[in-house]
Amino acid sequence: MARKILVVDDTKNMQAMLRDFLETQDFAVVAASDGVEAFNVLRNGPVDLILLDIMMPNMDGFQFITQLKRSSNIPVIMVTARQQESDIVRGFELGADDYVVKPFRFRELLMRMRAVLRRSAAASEEPDDLVVGRLTLSRAAHKVFKAGQPIDFTPLEFFVLETLMRSPGQVVKRADLSIRLIENGFSGSEATLKIHVRNIRLKLGDDLNRPVYIETVFGIGYRFLENAG
């Protein structure tokens, strides 16, 4: 059965180009011109992936993904002309699985879509919970519980934290982590990785000088401490 893609973009030409290309790749495509219309489309049935513009009338991309992620884990790739670092960081913080800047190469977008879809499919097959010290990572709830209290993470932050928690006490090289991010459809730049590790630490209440969760091994990478918390 063909995977269904929802294209949310207020430019009819972009909708048409994406539809034409994706249908040649055996995807089914539905489209919406803004966030309000996109929610109306979703009421008619689920989709497997959303390609989301930011600058749209009525409800822009940031407003849409904020509301969407309150009740849905549908993967989202932001496809937009906005390329400032602040916009990219905001997109990931709100729950985007990837961020593609216009103009883009269709083959590259296809690669990123397939990576996000693979990750989404794999997520449904792996064990739901990881427990290290006082932290429990629930894949089903897409949350981390610290001493029983839930903490929300963006998809990229969650992926980084899950990767580190899978190897407690071991150093995960920064280069290896960057490669895993790229393989799973995320931005793998060192600058982006540092931002997300910092955000994870802030949400966990970790202390950079005396970490109890994530330790930086300078010049190498990160270690998730075995007795976390």
CATH 3.40.50.2300 domain position(s) in the chain: 4-123
Dihedral sign for Cα atoms in the order 28, 98, 91, 153: positive
Global pTM reads 0.59
Residue-level pLDDT at 57: 92
Residue-level pLDDT at 101: 93
Residue-level pLDDT at 134: 86
Residue-level pLDDT at 128: 66
Residue-level pLDDT at 24: 94
CATH 1.10.10.10 domain position(s) in the chain: 129-224
Question: Number of C-alpha atoms within 13 angstroms, CB side, residue 212?
Answer: 12
3-state secondary structure the chain: CCCEEEEECCCHHHHHHHHHHHHHCCCEEEEECCHHHHHHHHHCCCCCEEEECCCCCCCCHHHHHHHHCCCCCCCEEEEECCCCHHHHHHHHHCCCCEEEECCCCHHHHHHHHHHHHHHHHHHCCCCCEEEECCEEEECCCCEEEECCEEEECCHHHHHHHHHHHCCCCCEEEHHHHHHHHHHCCCCCCHHHHHHHHHHHHHHHCCCCCCCCCEEEECCCEEEECCCCC
CATH numeric code, 4-123: 3.40.50.2300
Residue-level pLDDT at 126: 57
Report residues of the chain scoring pLDDT below 70: 1, 122-128, 183-185, 187-188, 228-229
Taking the C-alpha atoms of residue 45 and residue 201, their distance in angstroms, rounded to an integer, is: 37
Residue-level pLDDT at 142: 75
Structurally, what CATH architecture does the domain formed by 129-224 represent?
A: Orthogonal Bundle (1.10)
